[in-house]
Chain A
Amino acid sequence: MNKAKYIKYVFVAFLVTGMWGCTSMLEETEPATSVSSEVALNSADAINAIRASMYSTIRASFDLTTENLIGPDALADGMVNRPGSTRFQVLNAANGVSGTVHIGSFGGSYDVLLDANILIDGIPDDVPEFDQATRDQYRGEALAIRAWIMHGLSREFGYEPANTGISGSTFDLSAINRNFPTLDLTDAEPLARSTVTEIYNQMLTDLAEAKTLLAANGSSENKFITEAFVDGMLARVHLYAGNWSDASTAAQNAIDNSGLSLVSTAAGIASMFRGANPEAIWELDVNPNTEAIAGSNINNGLAAYTSDQWVAQIPTQKVIDAYTAGDYRVAGWHGDCIEEQSVGATANGCSTVNSLGVSITKWNGWKGNLADDITYMRVAEMYLIKAEADAKAANNPNAGVAALQALKTARNAGTVPAGALVSITAFEDEILLERMRELTAEGHRFWDLKRLGRDIPSVSGVGIKIRRDSFRILAPFGVNAQNVNPLLVENPGYEVAGN
C-alpha cells in the first residue's frame, strides 16, 4: 500500500469516528419549563413559586373546587340536575345500598399536600435571600392548608370523632396521614391509613403551629391563608370533633381576627359574590383568562355547573322552601335559569325542578370567562358554628340564639322560630336549615348531615336516599388505589371479593 492510499484511509477513518466522545452533545438539552430539585429548593424565587403552586393546584383541581363546593349538595338534597343535563346526576342518584359514586378528592388533595409538605419540611436551612419571616409565613400557610386538606379527606374517607362507630362497628380508620415531603422515590412508599384520632390530632397540631406563625408573620390579604382562616379551620375541626366550647372560641377568634362583619343589606347580599367578597375569610384568587378549573371553565367550572353553560345542578324545592318571605338571599343569590346564562346556551327546564325556575348565581362567572374567585370560608359560617357550638356547649338552645339571630337579622330572615328552642335537636334542625339557606353551593350539606349522624334525605324531600348507618356514607378508595398500595384498607362495604 503506497503512502497516498494510506493517508486516504486514515482520512476516511478519521471522518467516520469523528464523533466519539459526543456524550456531551447529548447532555446539553434542558427542559424549558422545568428545573431540577437542587435548583428549585435552593432559590427564594423558586420557593415563592412552590407556594404559588400550592394555591394554584387547589384552583386547578376539579375535586377541590367544583366537586368540593357543589358535590355535597348534589350528593344530599340541596341541588339536583336540570332535565337535559347529566353532570353530577350520579351524585343525585346515589343510594344507600349499592354503587360507589361519592365525593372524592384523593388525588387532588395529595397534589396540594405535595407542595405544602415541601414548604413545611423540604426547604433546606440556608437558602440565599430567603428570610426567616417569609419562611415562617409560608410554613404557617402550608400547615393550615395541610389541615384544610386533611379535614376534607378525613370527612370523605372516615367518620368524625363524634360519630365513629355509628354503624355499630368499631371502624375508626381515616385518611392517609402524609405529613412529609416526597423528594425522591423512597419517599413515595405506600403508607397505611391513620385513625380518626390520629388525623384530628395532626390537624390540631398543625393549626396550633400555624396560628403562632401567622399571628407573627401572616398575610393580611384574604387571598392567602391568614390567622383568621386558621381560627376558622380550628372552629370547623372542633365542631366536627364535638369540642363545642373550643369551636365557639375559635369561631369568635375568626370573626375578630378577620375584621369582617355580616353584610346586612339586600344590595350588599346580591353583590356579595360578584366582586371581592366582603364576608370572605379565604377567597382563592382566579385570573379569568389564564386560570381555569381543571383546564376548562366552560366544561368544569363552578359557573358551568350551576348557572351557565350546562346549568347542571340547580337548587331543590326544599332549598327554595326553606326561605321565609323577604329573605335577601332569595333574590340575591338566585336568578332566572335562562337569563343568567352568558354563553348563548338555552338550558331550560329549571321550573320543573323548583317553582321559581331559578339557578344559584353565587358562581356565575362574574370575573368573565365563566370564572369566579372561589370563596372557601365566610364569616357567616363562623356565626353558624358559634350558634351551634354555644347551644351544645351549654346544652341549651337559647345559648345559641345570639349568633344565629345575628345572621338572620343581617339576611332579613326574621327571628329564630320558637319551635327551634324546644330542644337541642330542634335547634340543630334549625341550624341545619339555616346552613342550607346560607351555604348551599358552598360545600357543606352532605358533611353537615354526616357529622351529625343524620340520614341523607332524598332530593324530592320524601324519604331517605342514604341511611346514616349505610356504608355509602363513606367514600371508597377504589381498586386501583388498593392495587398500588397493599397497606390500604378499603372502607367497609366497598371491598372487592377475591384479588
Chain B
Amino acid sequence: MLKKLLTLLVFALFSSVGLYAQVTVSGTVIDAETGETVPGVNILIVELQRGAASDSDGNYEIRNIDAGTYTVRATFVGYNTFTGTLQVGSQDVDYDISLEANIVGLDELVVSGYSVVSKRELTGSISSVSASDIENVSLQNTQSLLQGRAAGVTVTATSGNPGAAFRVNIRGNGSINAATEPLYIVDGVQIATEQTSNLTSTTPLNAINPNDIESIEVLKDAAAAAIYGSQAAAGVVIITTKKGVRGQTRVNANIERGVRSLARTVDYISSEEYVQFLGEGRAFDNGASLDQDISAFVDNRRAFLLGFFGSDPNGDGTTLANTNWQDFIFEDGVTERYNLSLSGGNERTTYFLSSGYEDTEGTAFNTDFTRLNLRTNIDHKINDKFTASVKVNVSNSTQFGVCQDGNFINCPPSQAMFEAPMSFPFLADGNYNNNTRFGLANNPAVVRDEVDRNVDITQVLSTVDLLYLVNDWLSVKGSASVDYRNTQDEQFRSAIAAPGQSGWVSFVNRNVQNVQGNLVANARKTFDDVHNVTGLVGTEYRRVYSEFAATRGEGFSVPFFSVLSSTATPASATGNNSEWRIASYFTNLKYDYDGKYFLSFTGRYDGSSRFGSGNRWAFFPSISGAWRVSEESFFNFSFVDDFKIRAGYGTTGNSAIGNFAARNLYGNVGSYDGLNGITPTQLANENLSWEEAQEINVGFDYELFASKIFGSIDIYRKDNKDLLFGRPLPSDSGFDEITENIGSVRNEGIEIEINSRNVTTSDFSWTSRFNVAFVRNEILELPEGNDIDANDQFEALIIGKQIGLIQVPEWAGVNPADGRPMWYDANGEITYTPGAEDNVEWNDGIANTVGGFGNTLNYKGFSLDAFFQFSLGQWAFASSDYYFTRTPDFLMNLNTEVRDRWRLPGDVTYFPRAMSGGNAYPETDNYRTEEGTQSIYNASYIRLKNVSLSYNLPTSLLDGLGIRNVRLYASAINMVTWTAWPWYDPEVAFDPTDIFTNVTSASYPTERQVYGGIDISF
C-alpha cells in the first residue's frame, strides 16, 4: 500500500515538469549504523525546492536537474537531518545518502547484562555513556570517561601519572573491608584486578583503547545489577566495543598530539626568605623580639644553612643556592596518539578492525606511558540458525613506574616537597651533590638518572560467542572468554643510587588467567499483541588464577650492565599463586502489557570458592516494575511525550574478600636458619559468607516538549549488611581478629539527569546535559556494637556516623600576643596542647554532591563542546604537604603560607610565629604534627574537564578525493579548576579501594593536557 502511494507521489512530482536535456539524480538511503535501507525518507534539493521520497527499498530518483551545485537535505523521523552537497554535470548522478540514527532519549538502547533493552523498557537504574558523548574527548583511560558523565558514579583520579588508576565509586561506600570497586565487564568478559603492578598506579582497564568504545553502561541499583549476583554489590560497569557496520568499508584515521603540564603547582618560599624565617625563629628562641635588630640571628642561621647544605655551586661560596625543585622534578610532557580503524561487511559478515598507538611523556621526570592496541571484532552469520562472533583485543602498554603516595625519600612527588631551595642537584663540576636532604643516593638527580622502574603489561581480552536461533522466539548463546594479563615490574638502581648493595636489579613477573564461560537462553514472545514476555536463563563459571615470581640480584661490579646476570649476588627469589572460582545460575523474566506496565524479576544463584563450606551458595533476587503513565488515556499533558515511574528492590552480594578467608590456615611466614617458617595465620570461620546489599530504588524517566528535554531522576536507599569485619580478638591469643559477617552501612541518595536539545535547525544545534548526585553515608552496625578506632582522626568507624569522618581539635587561631598556635579544648577553652578528647567532628572525605554539565554547539561544520565536572563536600588532609612543608623541622621546602606569620604582638595572622623547629613554642604542641581544623582543607572543585573545538571540512572540498570526512580539532583536559584546595590536586583518593578518601600523601599531581588532532574517514 505504502509502496503504491510512494510511487504515485513520485510519479506526480516527475510529471509536473517538462522533459528537457537534464540529468537524473538517484541513489539509496541507508541507516549509517546498520546499513539497512530506509524507506519513506524525504529528499529535497533545497535550491530547486524539488524532492522525492525513498521507496520501500530505500531507493529514490529525482529527474531533470540542471547542471549546478545544490544542497541536498534528507529528513526522516528518528534520524538526524542529512545535509550534503550535490554536484550535477552532464551525466546522471548516483547520490547515496546515509542517515545517522538520532538515538537519544528513551529510544536509546542500553546493555543491561546478558541482553540489550531500550531505555523505555528499563525498570532498574542504569546510567549510560555512549560513543557520541565521548567522541570529541581525548582521554587515556576508560574510567575517566565516566567522570561527571554518569549520575551517581563518583570517579576520582588516584594519581596523575599517565596510565594511573581511578577510584570508581557507585552510590557510596558500601563496604569497609571487602572491595568497593565495581565489577568491570568488557564485551562480556569480567575483568580481573589481581596482580597489578606495585611499582606505580595502574589499572587493568588500560588495555582498552577509548577509541574502540561504543558505550559504557553502569548498572547502579540492585534491580539492574542483581543479574551479577555476588559480584555486584558495588555496582557493575559494562563496556561495549564497536561492531562492524554493513556496507562499504569505512576507514577512519585519527592523529593527535598534545602537551601536558601540571594542572596546579604549589608555591614555596625562597632561600632568602628561609634564612629570614629561621633567623626570626632563633630570635624568639633567644627571647628577642622582632622590633629589635635580629640580623645577628639571621646571620647565624645563614651560616648554619651554608654549613648544612653547602653554598650555591654557581656562587662565590658565601651564598645559598635557590633551587626550584618543583621545576626540576616536573616539566612539560607530550602525547602522541594514532588510531586507525576499518569497519564494513556484507549481509553475512561484518567486521571492525582497529589499531591504536599512544606515546606519552608525563610531567614528572622519566614518567611515560605507551600503549599499542589491536582489536578484531567480527560477526558472522553462518546460516539462518547460527551466528558466530569473535572479539579479540591485544594490548601492550608500558609505564615508567613512578613511585608516589607516601612520604618516601626517593620518590619524585615527595622529593618536590622534601628538598629545600638551599639544596641543589649538581656540584659546579657537574657531579651529583651528595649533600641533598637525604644524601647522594636520594638526590633527585640520582633518582632521575640512576634509577629505572619499568612496568610492561601485555593483555589479551577475547570472547567467542555462538548464537543459535532455536525458532523465532527462542535463542541460545554460548560464550567463552579469556582475560589474560602479564605484568612485568623491573627495577634497577645503580651503585650510586644503592651504595649499600653496590646497585641492584629486581624483576617481578605477574600473570593472571581469568577464564569464563556462559550459556544463556533468551526468549521473547508476544501474545494477543499486548502481552510481551521476555526471559533469559543462563549459567556461568569463572576461574581466576594469579601468580607472581620475583627475583633480585645485587652488586654491579661493572657499571655498564643492568640485568640480573651481571649482578654479583642473587639476593632473593620469591613467588606465590592464588585462585578463586565462582559458579552461577541466573535468570531474568520480564513481562509488559502493551508497553505500558512492566514487571521484571532477576535472580542469580552463586557459589564461590572463597566462602565457608557451610555457606557456599547464595541467592540474589530482585524485582522491579515500571508504569508508563504517559500511555494512559487519562494522562493528557500535551508537553509530556513520555513519563515513566520505576521501582525496584533487590539484593546483591560482595564476594571480594581474601580467596581463603574462611579457612583455618597455617601460613608460610618468614624463615630461620635456612628453614621456612609456618605459623597459624587465620582461624576458621566455616560460616563466612558474602556481604549483602539490599537496595530500593524509585525512579522517573521523562521526555518533554517533543523530546527536547529528557532525563531521569532516581532515589535510592542501599543497606549493605553482613559486612565482612575482622572481629577483634584479644591479641594475646596470637590473632588480631577473625573475619565474620558483622556490620552494616547505609547509603542513600538522589540522582538527577537532564538533557536538552535547546536549538535544532539545519545549520545550528545546541544541546545541553546536566547530572548531579547527592549521597549520604551512615554506619549502622559494627562488631559487638563497638566503634572501631573511635578516636582516630581520619579512619574512625563510629555507629551513626559516616565513613571518612574527620575528627580534629578546633583551631582557635594564632595568639596575637605571642604568636603561638591555639586550639579549643573540649570545654571551649583555649589550649596549646589539645588531645584526642578535644576532637570535634569536622566534615568528612565524602564528596556528597557530584556531577557534571556540558554544552555542545554545532554550527555548519563547527562543533564546540565544553564539559564541566564538579565534586563538592569532600574535605581532606594533605599529609605530606602539611607535615613537611609548614615548619622547618626537617629543613625541607616551606610553603608560602608561612609568609602570613606572626611577628609582633597585636599581629592577627594565619600562620604562627617563625620557629626553629615545630617544638620551639614553649608548652605548645608541635605545629607540624598537631592537626586541627586549620589543617583540613575543602577539596571541593569544579573543573573544566574537557573542552573541544572541531571543524568538519565541507564535503564539497572532499568530493572526488574519495574522502568521506575530515575533522580538525583542538581539545583540552583539566583546563581550569576552581577550588579552595591549596595543594596539588583536590582529587583525593589514595587508591581505587580507598574508602576514607580524606588523606592524601605525595601523589603524582594531575596534569593539564592540550591536544590538536585530525580525523579522516574514507
Binding site for B on A (CB under 8 A): 5, 8-9, 12, 15-19, 22-23, 25-37, 39-40, 46, 48-57, 59-60, 84, 86, 106-107, 110-111, 113-115, 117-118, 176, 178, 182-185, 187-191, 223-224, 285, 287, 289-291, 298, 341-348, 365, 368-370, 479-481, 483-485, 488
Q: Which residues of chain A come closer than 8 Å to B434, judged between CB atoms? A: 344, 346
For the complex with contacts A9-B470, A18-B539, A346-B439, 13 further pairs of A-B residues with Cβ separation under 8 Å are A36-B664, A36-B666, A40-B680, A50-B677, A54-B677, A176-B732, A178-B733, A182-B680, A185-B738, A290-B571, A291-B671, A344-B434, A480-B789
CB distance from A317 to the nearest CB of B (A): 20
CB <8 Å contact, A31 and B660:
yes
Q: Contact mask B639-682 → A, CB, 8 Å, 1/0?
A: 00000000000000000000110011111111111111111111
B436's nearest neighbour on chain A, judged by CB, is A346
Q: Which residues of chain A come closer than 8 Å to B572, judged between CB atoms? A: 289-290
Given the complex of chains A and B, what is the CA–CA distance between A240 and B790 in angstroms? 38
CB <8 Å contact, B607 and A114:
no
The stretch that binds A, out of B99-107, B151-159, B575-583, is: B575-583
A53's nearest neighbour on chain B, judged by CB, is B677
Given the complex of chains A and B, what is the CA–CA distance between A60 and B672 in angstroms? 10
CB <8 Å contact, B474 and A57:
no
Q: Contact mask B732-761 → A, CB, 8 Å, 1/0?
A: 111110100000000000000000000000
Provide a sorted-by-A list of 20 A–B residue pairs whose CB atoms are within 8 angstroms. A5-B471, A16-B537, A26-B581, A27-B613, A29-B579, A29-B581, A31-B659, A33-B576, A34-B667, A35-B678, A51-B675, A56-B677, A110-B734, A114-B735, A182-B680, A182-B735, A188-B733, A346-B435, A368-B501, A488-B730
Decide yes or no whether B617 CB sits under 8 A from chain A. Answer: yes
Decide yes or no whether B440 CB sits under 8 A from chain A. Answer: yes
Given the complex of chains A and B, what is the CA–CA distance between A110 and B733 in angstroms? 7
Q: Which residues of chain B come closer than 8 Å to A287, judged between CB atoms? A: 671, 674
CB <8 Å contact, B670 and A53:
yes
CB <8 Å contact, A17 and B667:
no
Given the complex of chains A and B, what is the CA–CA distance between A344 and B734 in angstroms? 39
CB distance from A152 to the nearest CB of B (A): 13
Q: Which residues of chain A come closer than 8 Å to B730, judged between CB atoms? A: 176, 188-191, 481, 484-485, 488
CB <8 Å contact, B470 and A36:
no
Given the complex of chains A and B, what is the CA–CA distance between A188 and B538 in angstroms? 44
Q: Given A106-B731, A291-B670: A32 and B583 within 8 A (CB)?
A: no
CB <8 Å contact, A26 and B583:
yes
CB <8 Å contact, A290 and B671:
yes
Decide yes or no whether B499 CB sits under 8 A from chain A. Answer: yes
CB <8 Å contact, A178 and B499:
no
Decide yes or no whether B905 CB sits under 8 A from chain A. Answer: no
Q: Given A16-B521, A345-B438: A368 and B680 within 8 A (CB)?
A: no
From A46, A188, A298, contact of B735 by CB (8 A):
A188
A343's nearest neighbour on chain B, judged by CB, is B500
CB <8 Å contact, B733 and A27:
no
Residue among A23, A26, A223 with max Cβ neighbours from chain B (10 Å):
A26
CB <8 Å contact, A114 and B680:
yes
Q: Which residues of chain A come closer than 8 Å to B609, judged between CB atoms? A: 26-29
Given the complex of chains A and B, what is the CA–CA distance between A60 and B677 in angstroms? 12
Q: Which residues of chain B come closer than 8 Å to A191, judged between CB atoms? A: 730, 732
CB <8 Å contact, B732 and A106:
yes
CB <8 Å contact, A34 and B660:
yes
Decide yes or no whether B541 CB sits under 8 A from chain A. Answer: yes
CB <8 Å contact, A84 and B668:
no
CB <8 Å contact, B541 and A57:
no
Given the complex of chains A and B, what is the CA–CA distance between A342 and B501 in angstroms? 9
Q: Which residues of chain B come closer than 8 Å to A23, judged between CB atoms? A: 583, 607, 616-617
CB <8 Å contact, A114 and B679:
yes
CB <8 Å contact, B673 and A12:
no
CB <8 Å contact, B539 and A37:
no
Q: Which residues of chain B come closer than 8 Å to A8, judged between CB atoms? A: 470-471
Decide yes or no whether B296 CB sits under 8 A from chain A. Answer: no
CB <8 Å contact, B680 and A481:
no
CB distance from A481 to the nearest CB of B (A): 7
A175's nearest neighbour on chain B, judged by CB, is B732
A48's nearest neighbour on chain B, judged by CB, is B675
Residue among A5, A25, A224, A342 with max Cβ neighbours from chain B (10 Å):
A25
Q: Which residues of chain A come closer than 8 Å to B970, judged between CB atoms? A: none
Given the complex of chains A and B, what is the CA–CA distance between A86 and B892 in angstroms? 14
B669's nearest neighbour on chain A, judged by CB, is A53
Decide yes or no whether B890 CB sits under 8 A from chain A. Answer: yes
Shortest 8 CB-CB distances between A and B: which pairs?
A114-B734, A53-B677, A56-B670, A344-B441, A345-B439, A40-B666, A188-B733, A53-B679
CB <8 Å contact, B732 and A39:
no
Q: Given A188-B735, A289-B571, A480-B728: A19 and B541 within 8 A (CB)?
A: yes
Q: Which residues of chain B come closer than 8 Å to A343, judged between CB atoms? A: 439, 441, 499-500
Q: Which residues of chain B come closer than 8 Å to A107, judged between CB atoms? A: 731, 736
Given the complex of chains A and B, what is the CA–CA distance between A479 and B700 in angstroms? 49
Given the complex of chains A and B, what is the CA–CA distance between A144 and B732 in angstroms? 18
From B438, B581, B660, B734, contact of A25 by CB (8 A):
B581
Q: Contact mask B873-905 → A, CB, 8 Å, 1/0?
A: 000000000000000011100000000000000
Q: Which residues of chain B come closer than 8 Å to A53, judged between CB atoms? A: 669-670, 672, 677-679
CB <8 Å contact, A115 and B583:
no
Q: Which residues of chain B come closer than 8 Å to A12, judged between CB atoms? A: 470, 474, 476, 521
Q: Which residues of chain B come closer than 8 Å to A190, judged between CB atoms? A: 730
CB distance from B713 to the nearest CB of A (A): 37
CB <8 Å contact, A55 and B439:
no
CB <8 Å contact, A184 and B665:
no
Q: Which residues of chain B come closer than 8 Å to A33, judged between CB atoms? A: 576, 667-668
Q: Which residues of chain A come closer than 8 Å to B576, judged between CB atoms? A: 32-33
Decide yes or no whether B729 CB sits under 8 A from chain A. Answer: yes
Given the complex of chains A and B, what is the CA–CA distance between A49 and B733 in angstroms? 20
CB <8 Å contact, A32 and B577:
yes
Given the complex of chains A and B, what is the CA–CA distance between A33 and B668 in angstroms? 5
Decide yes or no whether B608 CB sits under 8 A from chain A. Answer: yes
Given the complex of chains A and B, what is the CA–CA distance between A37 and B676 in angstroms? 17
Q: Which residues of chain A come closer than 8 Å to B789, judged between CB atoms? A: 480
CB <8 Å contact, A481 and B731:
yes
CB distance from B475 to the nearest CB of A (A): 9
Q: Which residues of chain B come closer than 8 Å to A289, judged between CB atoms? A: 552, 554, 569, 571-572
Given the complex of chains A and B, what is the CA–CA distance between A86 and B583 in angstroms? 53
B538's nearest neighbour on chain A, judged by CB, is A16
Decide yes or no whether B872 CB sits under 8 A from chain A. Answer: no
Q: Which residues of chain B come closer than 8 Å to A365, judged between CB atoms? A: 500
CB <8 Å contact, B537 and A57:
no
CB <8 Å contact, A344 and B537:
no
Q: Given A49-B677, A84-B891, A346-B435: A285 and B442 within 8 A (CB)?
A: no
Decide yes or no whether B791 CB sits under 8 A from chain A. Answer: yes
B577's nearest neighbour on chain A, judged by CB, is A32
Q: Which residues of chain B come closer than 8 Å to A188, judged between CB atoms? A: 683, 729-730, 733, 735, 738
CB distance from B690 to the nearest CB of A (A): 13
Q: Contact mask B606-625 → A, CB, 8 Å, 1/0?
A: 01110001001100000000
Given the complex of chains A and B, what is the CA–CA distance between A184 and B671 in angstroms? 24
From A16, A57, A110, contact of B677 by CB (8 A):
A57
Which residues between 429 and 476 of chain B lie within 8 Å of chain A, taking CB atoms? 434-435, 438-442, 470-471, 474, 476
Given the complex of chains A and B, what is the CA–CA distance between A188 and B730 in angstroms? 7
Given the complex of chains A and B, what is the CA–CA distance between A424 and B520 in angstroms? 90
CB <8 Å contact, B500 and A369:
yes
Given the complex of chains A and B, what is the CA–CA distance between A368 and B555 in angstroms? 11
Which residues between 510 and 559 of chain B lie within 8 Å of chain A, taking CB atoms? 519-521, 537-539, 541, 547, 552, 554
Q: Which residues of chain A come closer than 8 Å to B476, judged between CB atoms? A: 12, 15-16
Q: Which residues of chain B come closer than 8 Å to A347, judged between CB atoms? A: 439
From B471, B500, B671, B733, contact of A182 by CB (8 A):
B733
CB distance from B496 to the nearest CB of A (A): 8
Given the complex of chains A and B, what is the CA–CA distance between A40 and B666 in angstroms? 7
CB distance from A261 to the nearest CB of B (A): 25
From A26, A35, A185, A342, contact of B608 by CB (8 A):
A26
Q: Which residues of chain A come closer than 8 Å to B673, judged between CB atoms? A: 52, 55, 223-224, 285
